[in-house]
Structure 1
Amino acid sequence: MKINVAIIMGGYSSEYKISLISGQVVYDHLNKEKFNAFKIHILKEKWVYVDENDREHPVNKDDFSVDTPTESIKFDCVFNAIHGSPGEDGLMQAYFELLGIKQTSCDYYQASLTFNKRDLLSVLKPYGIKSAASYYLNLGDEIREDEIIAAVGLPCFVKANKAGSSFGISKVYEKEALAKAIEKAFAEDNEIIIEAFLNGTEVSVGVIKYQGQTKVLPITEIVSENDFFDYAAKYEGKSQEITPARISDQQALRVTNIAKLAYERLKMRGFSRSEFIFVEDEPYMLEMNTTPGLTTESILPQQAQAAGISMSELFESAIWEALEQNN
């Protein structure tokens, strides 16, 4: 009997359009001989199943089922392709745990923690995982520009604390540009993190559960044509993503071990993609994404391909891993 898989996509954040693309890619690559795949759009204004004729059928939020004119659909597993809230911040994970429905991403606590850049880096610090000098602001706080610059220096990065795809991020070179960058970040989130600029090689490291084992994928080097790895660099071809990264064996071993350590210490499941910058031979973590992009241009699928794992195999493995979870 085929397994019913709900592919949730969309979300409530600025990343919803990217998520819809990721979800469609998952739908296109799932083996239809093994899985009945259903596209579920999770949007602020509606939760709907979109059928093969683009007709919309409401999702019953009481039990996450769908009734169509011809059938009543219940799901064996949920494939989470939502970037940002509510798919990457723990809300959907907690909802499915309450309903007893298996899902492919990490648990709700890990999702909430990793979605909060400030908290994630603080939790990993005792394990020896380094990060840039930083300064925190919450909406309504007094903005002491001289104090910020004394803490992180110039240039620096101003980031929304809980946002992805580089929404709300600015690189600031001068004190006069700081206030505008802070305003931009607060448009995405009510918490921001301001970090020192790290001058070095940027890499992305994918870690997944694959065939029952924690697997670190080949490392990707990020070379942006823009001033940093912003939205245009990520999604509009304004960067080179080189897999495997052009780093030394020593650097590769170091960052591989750190990415795996973070994944295992946080008791992660599913996919993750962590970003680092090398300062000499030491990797500094920037963030961890638990619902990374899954488009054909996205980094994690590129890394999987370099490891000899097709997109179909990557997605199928995530479903089997979810179904085999005991809780």
Structure 2
Amino acid sequence: MNKTNKPNIAVIAGGDSSEFVVSVKSGANVLKAVDSAKFSPWLVQMQGKNWEVFKEGKKVADIDKSDFSFLLNNEKIAFDFAYITIHGTPGEDGILQAYFELMQIPYSTCNVHSSSLTFNKWICNNYLRNLGVVMANSIKLNKGTAIDVNTIVEKLGLPLFVKPNAGGSSFGVSKVKELSQLEEAIEKAWIESDEALIEQFIDGKEFTCGIVRLQGEKVVFPITEVLPKNEFFDFEAKYTPGATEEITPARLPKHLFEKCQQLTSEIYDMCECSGIVRIDFILKNETFYFLEVNTTPGMTATSFIPQQIAAMGKTLQEIITQIIEDKLN
């Protein structure tokens, strides 16, 4: 029973990937943005089999996984909605989404199919390439496979990028400039995922664009231009203050700004996305090369999505309120 009659909202953070710490920051920022005049927000932190409820920074209960509820002062509190801010597994790959489908609890993100499709970069790339989306050429190597560096470089050239195929994070990503670095980079990616994705290097600028569907209408956010001071936008560049210059809205001529937003909107539909999604691109000449779909993008105070929402003249609270109300109705 909810005595206040305000829907109980679980903001879910943590997870089992290397981005646990970032997810906790995203969760804290989303929790702050849930309108407590309309909803009762609770932080749920997950790691492995530990699912814990926090209020004002203190653990108050364990989650009963049989129905996603908890006991507080002998009163059972059931959740009406789940806002998922886990980067990586189990919040970005469809596992948690399947659980909420079984529990019949509405949630903020893409559904099971869309989440698992976009989480596996190799499968998502081949699916979108088939639909005409332009992207770098790539090769996938399963963990333990013999590494033939010469053949890889013959096919993709140098430099190239090596990244975990399914990690939902910036860990394990390397830019390889010399043949001698390739094997080590592949093994580094295998630490994060059983499959390494090796991609041709596209020499261009990086852009990222957020999008959400609210009341059946897509809202495409302003684009952010990403200028890392490192070689590329790695984990350090992503989360070290001052390591990356981020310009929102991006300094693009109108036709390219609109082209990127249009492409973002098309990919959102192709992947049957839901909730806030961020899509990354590299611009070379006048072509946007698709990089990846992020279905639980970073929501820390300095992340791209909150920047883009602010640039639209909206607040994170307004957008999150609409997402929750849409899914509850």
Aligned residue number for residue 70 of structure 2: 66
Q: 101, 122, 137: which one pairs with 1:118?
A: 122
State the Cα RMSD in Å. Answer: 1.1
Q: Report deviation, 1:158.
A: 0.3
Output one character per residue of 1:125-179: Cα deviation in whole Å (capped at 9) or x when no partner: 1222111011110012111101110111110000001123311100000011111
Aligned residue number for residue 216 of structure 2: 212
> What is the letter of the counterpart of residue 54 of structure 2?
V
Do structure 1's residue 43 and structure 2's residue 52 form an aligned pair?
no
Aligned residue number for residue 314 of structure 1: 319
Q: 274, 283, 297: which one pairs with 2:279?
A: 274
Higher mean C-alpha displacement, 107-116 vs 66-75: 66-75
Structure 1 unaligned regions, length at least 5: none
Aligned residue number for residue 107 of structure 1: 111
Aligned residue number for residue 139 of structure 1: 143
SS at 1:198's partner residue? coil
> What is the letter of the counterpart of residue 260 of structure 2?
V
Q: Report deviation, 1:59.
A: 0.6
Give the 3 Å change call, closer, same or farther, for CA 94–45 of structure 1 in structure 2. closer
Q: In 2, are the aligned partners of 1:218 and 1:307 still within 8 Å (CA)?
A: yes
Structure 2: distance between partners of 1:258 and 1:250: 12
Note the 1:138-217 alignment, pairs <5 A: 138-217=142-221
Percent identity between matched residues is 40
Output one character per residue of 1:36-80: Cα deviation in whole Å (capped at 9) or x when no partner: 001111111411111236034111111111112342110111111
Do structure 1's residue 299 and structure 2's residue 304 form an aligned pair?
yes
> What is the letter of the counterpart of residue 321 of structure 2?
E
Structure 2: distance between partners of 1:55 and 1:128: 48
> What is the letter of the counterpart of residue 154 of structure 2?
A
Note the 1:207-286 alignment, pairs <5 A: 207-237=211-241, 238-286=243-291
Deviating beyond 6 angstroms after TM superposition, the runs of 4 or more aligned structure 1 residues are none
Structure 1: distance between partners of 2:317 and 2:248: 20
Aligned residue number for residue 32 of structure 1: 36
Q: 1, 9, 24: which one pairs with 2:13?
A: 9
Structure 2: distance between partners of 1:247 and 1:52: 42
Q: Report deviation, 1:210.
A: 2.8
SS at 1:23's partner residue? helix
Structure 2: distance between partners of 1:51 and 1:219: 35
Q: In 2, are the aligned partners of 1:165 and 1:234 still within 8 Å (CA)?
A: no
> What is the letter of the counterpart of residue 287 of structure 2?
E
TM-score (norm. length: structure 2): 0.96
Structure 1: distance between partners of 2:86 and 2:100: 14
Q: In 2, are the aligned partners of 1:104 and 1:321 still within 8 Å (CA)?
A: no
Give the 3 Å change call, closer, same or farther, for CA 54–257 of structure 1 in structure 2. same
Q: Report deviation, 1:91.
A: 0.2
Output one character per residue of 1:93-115: Cα deviation in whole Å (capped at 9) or x when no partner: 01000110000101011000101
Structure 1: distance between partners of 2:63 and 2:287: 48
SS at 2:222's partner residue? coil
> What is the letter of the counterpart of residue 246 of structure 1?
R
Q: Report deviation, 1:258.
A: 1.0
Structure 1: distance between partners of 2:108 and 2:231: 34
